Amino acid sequence: MIPELVIALSVGAALFGVGLYGALSQTNLVMIIMGVELVLAAALVNMVAFWRYLHPDVTAAKMFVLIVMAVMAVEMAVGFGIAIARFRSRGSVEMEEARELKG
Amino acid sequence: MPLLTIATFLPILAGLALMALPDRSARIAHGVSIAATGAVFLITLVIWARGITPGSFAQIEEIAWIPAIGAAYRLGVDGLSLPLVLLTSLLFLLSAIYSARVSERAATYVVLMLMLETASLGTFMALDGLLFYVFFEVSLVGMYFMIVGWGYEDRQRAGLMFFLYTLLGSLPLLLAIIALYLGSGTFDMRDWIDAPPLAGIAAMLALIAMLFTFAVKIPAFPVHTWLPAAHVQAPTAGSVILAGVMLKFGTYGLVRFAYQMTPEAFVQAGQVILAFGVVSALYGAFAALAQTDLKKMIAYTSVNHMGYVVMGVAVAALATDPRIRTIGLDGATLQMVSHGLVTGALFFLVGMLQDRAHSRGLGEFGGLLARVPWLGWAFILSAFASLGLPGLAHFPAEFQVFLATLNVAPWAIVAILAIVVTAALYLRAIGAVFLGEANPKWAEMPDLDGREKLVIVPLLILTVLVGVAPGWLIDIIHTTMASLGN
Amino acid sequence: MIWLALTLLAPLGAALAVFGLRRAPGVIALAGAGLGLLGAFGLFARAAGGAEVTATLPFLPDLPILLVAGPLTATLALVVATVAAMVLLYATGYMAHDPEKLRFFGTMLMFVAAMELLVLSGDWITLLAAWELIGFASYLLIGFWYSREGVPGAAMRAFLYTRTADLGLYIAAFLLIGLAGTSEISATLATAGTPALIAGLLLLFAAMGKSAQVPMQDWLMRAMAGPTPVSALLHSATLVAAGAILLIRTAPMLPDGALLAVGLVGGVTAVVAGLMALAAGDLKRLLAASTASQYGLMLVALGAGAPVAALLHLIAHAAIKSALFLGAGVFQHDRDSTDLEALAGAGRARPGIFAGFALAALALAGLPPMAAFFSKDAILAAALDSPFAVWLLPLALLGSVLTGAYMARALRVLWTGAPGKAADPAPLMSAGMGVLVALAATLGFGFKPLEAMLSAHVPEPAWIIPAMGLAVGLIGLALGWFFQPARLLGPLLGPASEGFVIAGGMQALVARPALALAAACERFEQRLLAAVMAIGRINLSIGVGARRMDKDTIDAAIFGLVDRAIALGARARRLQSGFIHREMALTFAGIALVVGVLLVTPLYL
């Protein structure tokens, strides 16, 4: 076990935990999106760590990171678009009030 | 010219034609029924003129249906069925004339009656086991609806009991027919008669099954209780047909099926069958004596008369002398016809009385003979015929039956006591209804009108004719019975 | 052949003519009866000449109708025809004012035809048929005035009594036909042994009913409710004679045991009915009881083995008794009643009728030279000579005494008393009666030739017999004239006037048990019906049970399953909270679960 890898993965795990906790416990949509971003970021850290310490010669990994970042950005844009649309219709983005899909 | 088929199916075809007519008023309906039954009567007369052959069936009409099992549409007549066919067509014609008084739902009534006629004629003339059974059962449906639709106070219960009782009673016959088929490989009744297919235990079981069915139909003690209820509640024409025609299905079946198709078993069971006949005769007479309802009284005398028929057939089976055997069978068959004529007349007359008085109780009347002489004298004549007065219909038949009985199974002659009991009950009825002081309640009662006379006079004439000169009728019967006796 | 046809068909044709034309019934009746009489004369003449006329008609296979007019039957036919003609002549006067006389004459003619058929029958079926037909005619005639009280009951009683007795004839006929193989009467008379004894007793039973012998005498008493011509024709000379005729014809077959029974029955009846006649309070009932008694004497003769004596007495009695009845009818017309008290002195108002009546009465008592003297002597002689003399002779003598007694009583009643108003002449009635009285007086002289014709030899009785006969006759007449019945009968007066009804009579012994049996059958019927209904109810309850099983068990199971599935779905629905957080939490939990499974499975698979 390469110790640097362990440290990097722990950082990634910590980020993941924080992000998950945030996504699940926050009531504001913006905070939930932030949490989801952090989860994605943690996945990216894990990927970079595995690339740097296990397979440094695979160049495709760098491309994958960039693509994920782009997807993150797009997803954030969509998410905030939804948040603005909701804010405009309801005047708030509190998720506790969003019960329309209750079965 | 397939006259048998025409005679059998003309009634129902006329009924269907009636249903297709736009105007189905009572007048049209009754006109159709009288025309149809009249035509059938004439056709049966022609069938009679064509003649029968001794020892086998005549005028066979056959259309193959399922040759592999010998099932076919097959009609024929012989000395046993021809008199019954004539009786049937006559009684239906007279019933049609009498029923012209029915005004509610006349078209349906007429169609039911015509359906009954088809079923009756078919039953008597069928020479195929399946065909016989079909016709046998169809008649139940027609009679059920007649009772329930046009009967008297308690008709629902009586009709239902009649239908279920006789339907249940008919099931063993189906088993027997199937057994006969399994024994012979065909449903042709002629083969069953010429070469009885069953033997030993199988024959005895088939016989018991057939006897059960026919005992319910005849009706014999103790499975006779459906008869009084059905008769009392049925409309007049229904009672006449029930007594005059449908009871004969049972006795016809007794001779045709039980006697002819399982002969050895029948001989073995002969004493038991004779006992049932004797008990029926005596029980029917005594039960009739206890009645105060005229229709019920006559219904019980039917049990008595049919008991004599059973006795005649039973002693014929037990007899060793072929002459005695023929006498027994002749007497039994003649009794069937006589009963149809006489009891038919009695039911017509009681119906006429009921139409006038809306009552059937013996105690309600008195001294009517002066008021309604035609009705009264017709009743007296028919009553004396029913109790067996010589010169009238039942005497030749009962004489033959009793003659055979005494010479074959002397113990059974005790049934002759019944002729005294029937004399007592009829005289009591005559005395209560027609003699004595005139009951002022009926001072305005009208006598028989033209149509009613038209219905009753032929029956009275035939009653006297059969009593005085039964030769013409016995010749038909004897043709077949003489060969059956051997 | 023509005589045969005339004898039978003339009355029948006249009956049909009366009913068909519905006019002039009296004239038609006389014409019919006259022609019938002519025919009977013809038959008698032929038979006297030795020829036997026969005829055969088809009826049933092997059992044809046979008619035979031999010496015996032709004689009887003549007797019937003569009495019938005279009574019908009388009836044209008697029934002149009755509104229903059409029916009367028609039925009477029918009866005559049936009776002639009976005497001329050559086979058992015809005899049986005619036997029943005369019973039917009797029912119609006794019940002629059917709206009067008691009349329908009397007619019914008569028919039922005789019908019950007819069972004997039926069974005997079957027995004889079966044994002989043919229904011809003369052929069956060859039967012997036990069957002959049984047949004989059965025939006796039948004869007891028709001839009103004890214990079946009551119907005859009640039959007097009919018009008097009916009593004169049927219930004195013809119908009641049928029983005696039957026994006379079958006499050759009867063995000793049967003969003894016949004789005893006859003897007892002669005495019992004689007592009843003496105690009677009504003239017609007196004559009816007398009829039964006289037939008893005939049966005594038969029992003694002398059927010819019985026949002679039958002929004499026919003329005498019908004459007496006709006379009673005339008195009845005068006083409107037949009660003896009402008739007191009626004889004085009509001396001619009374003379005839008295002549006939004395004839019956057995005074010479009238017919019954000879016949009664023949009976007494036979009784004396028979092996059963110890029984038969005393009964016969007692019967003869009683005959004189009650006839004298009747004469005394009719003669003593006020004559009443003058009576209208009754030419027709007188004519009819007169001829019969004349016959009653003179027939005795014809007996010898008759015996020759019948080829029967009745030996001349020793002088003791006529002496006995005359003595008992005179003693009887004296007793009846001078003493009241109450004194003569003593303690027997009560039972005698009641008709010697024992233990409630036929009513209690036969009728009530029959009705009780009928009621029992009806109760049994109800129970049978209840049983059928019970079977029906059992089936209905099976049906209900089947339905319940369907509903509660099967349906419950299936629908229960459905309900639980729906409940389960409701619970699962709660996961759809609509909360983003919860949704996401569930999503991550699911992912974690999948990852865990993916990581773990390579270790175990």
Using an 8 Å Cβ cutoff, are C298 and C314 in contact? yes
d(CA C277, CA C225): 17
Would you give the DSSP letter of residue A34? H
Neighbours of C12 (CB within 10 A): 18
Instruction: Report how far apart, in Å, the C-alpha atoms of B17 and of each of B9, B42, B117, B119 are.
Output: 12, 20, 16, 17
Q: How far apart are CA C489 and CA C500, in angstroms?
A: 13
For residues C557-561, average pLDDT: 89
C380 and C313 Cβ atoms separated by less than 8 Å: no
Least confident among B82-91, B293-302, C21-30? C21-30
Which range, A15-24, B432-441, C213-222, C476-485, has the best average confidence (pLDDT)? A15-24
Tell me what percent of the residues of chain B surpass a pLDDT of 70: 100
Q: In the prediction, which pLDDT does B453 show?
A: 93
Q: What is the pLDDT of residue C338?
A: 82
The neighbouring-strand residues paired with B71 are B66
Closest CA to B343 of B295, B310, B389, B391: B295
Averaged pLDDT, B135-143: 94
Whole-number pLDDT of residue B335? 96
Between CA C266 and CA C260 the distance in angstroms is 10
| Sign of the dihedral defined by the CA atoms of residues C469, C471, C472, C477, in that order | positive
C152/B290 CB distance under 8 A: no
Closest alpha carbon within chain A to C587: A24
Inter-chain CB pairs, A–C, below 8 Å: 31
Structure tokens at A37: 């971003």
How far apart, in whole angstroms, are the C-alpha atoms of residue C136 and residue B427?
A: 11
Res. B289 pLDDT band, cuts 50 70 90? very high
What would the 3-class secondary structure string for C254-267 be? CCHHHHHHHHHHHH
Q: Distance between CA B328 and CA C233 in Å, rounded?
A: 39
Minimum-distance CB partner of C175 among B323, B395, B406:
B406
Chain C residue closest to A103 (CA)? C576
C-proximal residues of A, 15-54, CB under 8 Å: 20, 23-25, 27, 32
Residue whose entry in the numeric block shows the structure tokens 């249940």: B168
Name the DSSP class of C51: -
Q: Give tens-digit pLDDT for C50-94.
A: 778 888 888 888 888 999 888 889 999 999 999 999 999 999 988
State residue C416's pLDDT score: 83
Establish whether the linkage from the previous residue to C99 is cis, with ω within 30° of 0: no
Residue bearing tokens 């028929």: B309
Query: Rounded to whole angstroms, how far apart are CA atoms B72 and B62?
Result: 7
Digit-coded pLDDT (tens) for B358-410 = 888 888 888 888 889 999 999 999 999 999 999 999 999 999 999 999 999 99
CA distance B437 to chain C (A): 5
Instruction: Tell me which residue in C136, C147, C178 faces B370 most closely, judged by beta carbons.
Output: C147
At C467 the three-state DSSP class reads helix
Q: Does C584 sit within 8 Å of A98, measured CB to CB?
A: no
Contact B469 C59 (CB under 8 A): yes
Confidence of residue B327 (pLDDT cuts 50, 70, 90): very high
- Under the banding of pLDDT at 50, 70 and 90, the label for residue A103 is low
**pTM to 2 decimals?**
0.86
CA distances from B178 to B165, B183, C291 (A): 21, 9, 68
- Would you state the torsion angle of the CA atoms of residues C295, C300, C305, C309, taken in this order, to the nearest 10 degrees? -50
Which DSSP letter does residue C70 get? Answer: -
Tokens of B5: 């088929």
User: Does C559 contact A at CB distance below 8 Å?
Assistant: no
Q: What is the pLDDT of residues C178-195, one digit of tens each?
A: 888 888 888 888 888 888
The whole-angstrom separation of Cα C583 and Cα A103 is 12
Cβ proximity of B316 and B401 under 8 Å: no
**What's the CA dihedral at B459, B465, B470, B472 to 10 degrees?**
-90
Dihedral angle sign, alpha carbons of residues C95, C101, C103, C107: positive
- Looking at chain C, how many residues does it have? 605
DSSP B442-466: GTT-----HHHHHHHHHHHHHHHHH
Give the helix, strand, coil percentages of chain B, each rounded to 5.
80, 5, 15
Beta carbons within 8 Å of B237's beta carbon, 6+ residues apart: B95, B96, B98, B99, B102, B113, B146, B351
The amino acid that residue C453 corresponds to is M
Rounded to whole angstroms, the Cα distance separating B113 from B142 reads 7
Contact C50, C29 (CB under 8 A): no
pLDDT at C344: 82
Give the CA count within 13 Å in the CB-facing half-sphere of B278.
Answer: 20
pLDDT of residue B67: 85
Mean pLDDT of chain B: 92
Task: Summarize the confidence of residues C542-564 as an average pLDDT.
Answer: 88
Polymer length in residues for chain B: 486
pLDDT grade for C504, boundaries at 50, 70 and 90: low
Gap between the Cα atoms of C27 and C32, Å rounded: 9
Q: Cβ-count burial of C581 within 10 angstroms (0-12 exposed, 13-18 middle, 19+ buried)? A: middle
**B486 pLDDT above the threshold of 70:** no
- Which region among B208-222, B283-297, C247-261, C445-459 has the lowest average model confidence (pLDDT)? C445-459
Q: Is B256's pLDDT higher than 70?
A: yes
Q: Is residue C191 classed as helix, strand or coil in its secondary structure?
A: coil
Q: Which helix (H) or strand (E) holds B72?
A: strand B71-77
Instruction: Find chain C residues with C-beta within 8 A of B413's C-beta.
Output: 171, 174
More confident residue, C504 or B12: B12
HSE at residue B155, side-chain half, CA atoms within 13 A, is 17
Token output for C340:
């003896």
What pLDDT does residue C422 have? 65
What mean pLDDT is predicted for residues B281-289?
A: 94
Q: Residue C452 pLDDT more than 80?
A: no
Confidence of residue B11 (pLDDT cuts 50, 70, 90): very high
Q: Which residues contact A44 (CB under 8 A, 6 or more apart)?
A: A65, A68, A69
Mean predicted confidence (pLDDT) in C254-274: 91
What three-state secondary structure class fits B377? helix
Q: Which two tokens stand for residue B117?
A: 């006629």
pLDDT at B375: 93
Packing angle, helices B394-408 and B322-357, rounded to 10: 140
pLDDT of residue B485: 60
Do the beta carbons of residue C138 and residue C223 sit within 8 Å?
A: yes
Q: Which of A34, A39, A40, A47 has its CA nearest to residue A8?
A: A47
Distance CA C132, CA C129 (A): 5
**Residue among A95, A100, A103 whose CB faces C581 most closely:** A95
Token pair recorded at residue C286: 């007196």
Q: Which residues of B touch C123 (CB under 8 A)?
A: none
Q: Tell me which DSSP letter residue B219 carries.
A: T
- Give the Å distances, CA to CA, from C506 to B316, C155, C212, C219, C568: 37, 15, 13, 10, 89
Mutate: best of B406, B425, B472, partner C, most C CBs <10 A: B406
Rg (CA), chain B: 21
Distance from CA of C573 to the nearest CA of A (A): 6
pLDDT value, residue C445: 80
Total beta-carbon pairs less than 8 A apart between chain B and chain C: 131
pLDDT greater than 70 at residue C586: yes
Look at residue B1 in the predicted model and tell me its pLDDT: 85
Task: Give mean pLDDT, residues B205-211.
Answer: 95
Give the model confidence (pLDDT) of B60-87 as tens digits: 999 988 888 888 999 999 999 999 999 9
* Chain B residues in contact with C164 (beta carbon < 8 A): 420
Residues C375 and C447: beta-carbon distance below 8 Å: yes
| Contact yes or no for A102 and C577 at CB 8 A | yes
B118 in contact with C, Cβ within 8 Å: no
Q: For residue range C366-385, what is the model confidence (pLDDT) as tens digits?
A: 888 788 888 888 888 888 88
End-to-end CA distance of chain B: 33
- Contacting residues of B for C62, CB less than 8 Å apart: 323, 327
pLDDT the model gives residue C378: 86
- Cβ-defined contact of B469 to C163 (cutoff 8 Å): no
Q: Measure CA C548 to chain center.
A: 65
CA atoms of C210 and C228, how far apart (whole Å): 19
Helix/strand/coil (H, E, C) string of C375-425? HHHHHHHHHHHCCCHHHHHHHHHHHHHHHHHHHHHHHHHHHCCCCCCCCCC
Question: Across residues B273-283, what is the average pLDDT?
Answer: 95
Our CA-based measurement puts residue A83 at a distance from the nearest CA of chain C, in whole angstroms, of 13
Rounded Cα–Cα distance for residues C429 and C343 (Å): 18
Counting as contact any 3 or more CB pairs under 8 A, the partners of A are: C
Cα C528 versus chain centre, distance? 35
- Rounded to whole angstroms, the Cα distance separating B135 from C176 reads 45
A29/chain C closest Cα distance in angstroms: 9
Q: What angle do CA B41, B46, B50 make, to 5 degrees?
A: 145
Q: How many helices (H) and strands (E) does chain A have?
A: 3, 0
Centre a 10 Å sphere on the Cβ of residue C561 and count the other Cβ atoms it contains: 10
DSSP at C339: B
Mean pLDDT of C125-129: 94
Q: How far apart are CA C428 and CA A94, in angstroms?
A: 141
**Average pLDDT score over chain C:** 87
Whether A103 contacts chain C with CB within 8 A: yes
Q: Could you tell me what percent of chain C has a pLDDT over 90?
A: 36
What are the tens digits of pLDDT across the range C300-355?
999 988 888 899 999 999 999 999 999 898 888 888 888 888 888 888 888 888 88
- How deeply is C346 buried, as exposed, middle or buried, from its count of CB atoms within 10 A (0-12, 13-18, 19+)? buried
Beta-bridge mates of residue B128: B188
